[in-house]
Amino acid sequence: MEFKGLVACRAGVGSSLMLKIKVNQVINDNKLPIKIEHGALDMVVGFNGQLIITLTDVAEELAAKHLPQTVIGIKNIMDKTEILTRLNEFLAAQK
């Protein structure tokens, strides 16, 4: 099964674009069954995937909204080890 994720930040530019690049590198390098979309936080409302990946401060705000998706907050958007760890935690929870 392939999971659908959304990489998002407040504006959908800058930090989330960098995060999307790193997340895609981690997914491709590790052959993870996740397909990523990218956008601003206003896309969260209509998003029908299973995973939202964002920065930790935004993740805390989204967690308070009790969304149906799993929300992952990344502290360091350049840290592929952190990204891989969090994605693997998500995948392990889906089994």
pLDDT digits over 9-66, tens only? Answer: 877 567 888 999 999 999 999 999 999 999 888 888 889 999 999 999 999 999 888 8
Terminal-residue alpha carbon distance, the chain: 11
Asked if 7 and 23 touch (Cβ cutoff 8 Å), the reply is yes
Q: What is the pLDDT of residue 80?
A: 97
Within 8 A by CB and 6+ apart from 23, the residues are 5, 7, 36, 53, 83, 87
pTM (two decimals): 0.92
- Residue 13: per-residue pLDDT: 67
* Ordered domains of the chain (ranges, CATH): 3-93 (3.40.50.2300)
Q: What is the pLDDT, as a whole number, of residue 91?
A: 98
Q: Token pair of 82, please? A: 């952190």
Q: Which amino acid is at 58?
A: V
pLDDT at 3: 98
Give the dihedral sign, CA 75/63/20/91.
positive
CA gap 63, 27 in Å, rounded: 24
Give the model's pLDDT for residue 14: 79
